[in-house]
């Protein structure tokens, strides 16, 4: 796909690899453009049932491309850069196809925000997570403050934002920020992606939507939405297939219909 992002198709899985290892996979405008292209493909191709995002080399991503930031003249230009990052991460977060971050090393700043935009996060033992922007007189600007506040206890989110200190993989696991730790994190992420890819696409997309919407709603409103969603799923071909496979003691073959 490009020099800074590779796109591979692996049996219904879209594997996106940040590929700027010599610069710890720094995210610049070129990466943003390629992420949009990748999402265009994923959203248009029903055969792609899961997404895995990882980094080449020893880092997931150390954050925004500082060399590019250094060329920006004022807050307006920086705002445009941050808006572009926010938009593509929001698009990944809203994508109906489930996504997994395979965090193979450092995930800092914008790299951490990219991992936060994924539905699930697996990490290698050497992974570290942080938002060091405060040490530059800044703060995360691609939804990092908001996603951290929703995924972590308030005091922990504030500590990370105010000190810029990293979070160890053990702490991240303890807080539920990541789902699991694996020595071969990419292999584990691809195994999990295969499980998701074999599942019913509409039900998976609905599960994602219900959780993401529910945390922003009242419990009563979320329950109403849940009932409507589950009732609609009952009329799908995948529900018929799932029940028939269960009764027939075989593996279901879901089509997304």
Beta strands in the chain (DSSP E): 5-10, 13-18, 50-55, 59-61, 99-103, 106-108, 120-123, 128-130, 167-168, 180-181
Helix (H) or strand (E) run with residue 109 in it: none
Instruction: For tokens 């994924």, name the residue.
Output: 118
- Residue 250: how many other CB atoms lie within 10 Å: 9
**Does 165 participate in catalysis according to the annotation?**
no
CB atoms within 10 A of CB 246: 10
Which one is catalytic: 46, 113, 216, 226? 113
**Residue 133 is a catalytic residue:** yes
Q: In the structure encoding, which two tokens stand for residue 51, read together?
A: 């997404």
Catalytic residue (one of 8, 46, 133, 226): 133
Sheet arrangement for strand 128-130: 59-61, 106-108, 128-130, 167-168
Q: Are strands 59-61 and 106-108 parallel, antiparallel or unpaired?
A: parallel
Q: List the catalytic residues.
A: 113, 133
């Amino acid at each position: 796909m490009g020099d800074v992002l590779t796109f591979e198709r692996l049996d219904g899985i879209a594997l996106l690899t940040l590929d700027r290892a010599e610069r710890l996979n720094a995210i610049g405008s070129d990466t943003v453009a390629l992420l949009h292209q990748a999402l265009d493909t994923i959203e248009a191709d029903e055969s792609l049932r899961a997404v895995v995002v990882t980094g080449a080399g020893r880092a997931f991503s150390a954050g925004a491309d500082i060399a590019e930031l250094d060329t920006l003249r004022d807050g307006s230009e920086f705002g445009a850069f941050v808006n572009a990052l926010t938009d593509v991460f929001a698009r990944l977060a809203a994508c109906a196809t489930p996504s997994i971050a395979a965090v193979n090393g450092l995930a800092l700043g914008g790299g951490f925000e990219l991992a936060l935009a994924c539905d699930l996060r697996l990490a290698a033992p050497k992974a570290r997570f942080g938002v060091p922007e405060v040490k530059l007189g800044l703060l995360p600007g691609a939804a990092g403050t908001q996603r951290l506040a929703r995924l972590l206890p308030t005091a922990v989110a504030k500590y990370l934002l105010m000190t810029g200190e990293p979070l160890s993989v053990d702490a991240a696991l303890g807080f539920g920020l990541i789902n699991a730790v694996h020595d071969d994190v990419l292999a584990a992420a691809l195994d999990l992606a295969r499980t998701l890819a074999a599942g019913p696409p509409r039900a998976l997309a609905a599960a994602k939507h219900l959780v993401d919407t529910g945390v922003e709603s009242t419990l009563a409103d979320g329950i109403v939405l849940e009932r409507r969603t589950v009732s609609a799923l009952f009329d799908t071909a995948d529900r018929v297939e799932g029940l028939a496979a269960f009764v027939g003691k075989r593996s279901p073959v879901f089509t997304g219909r």
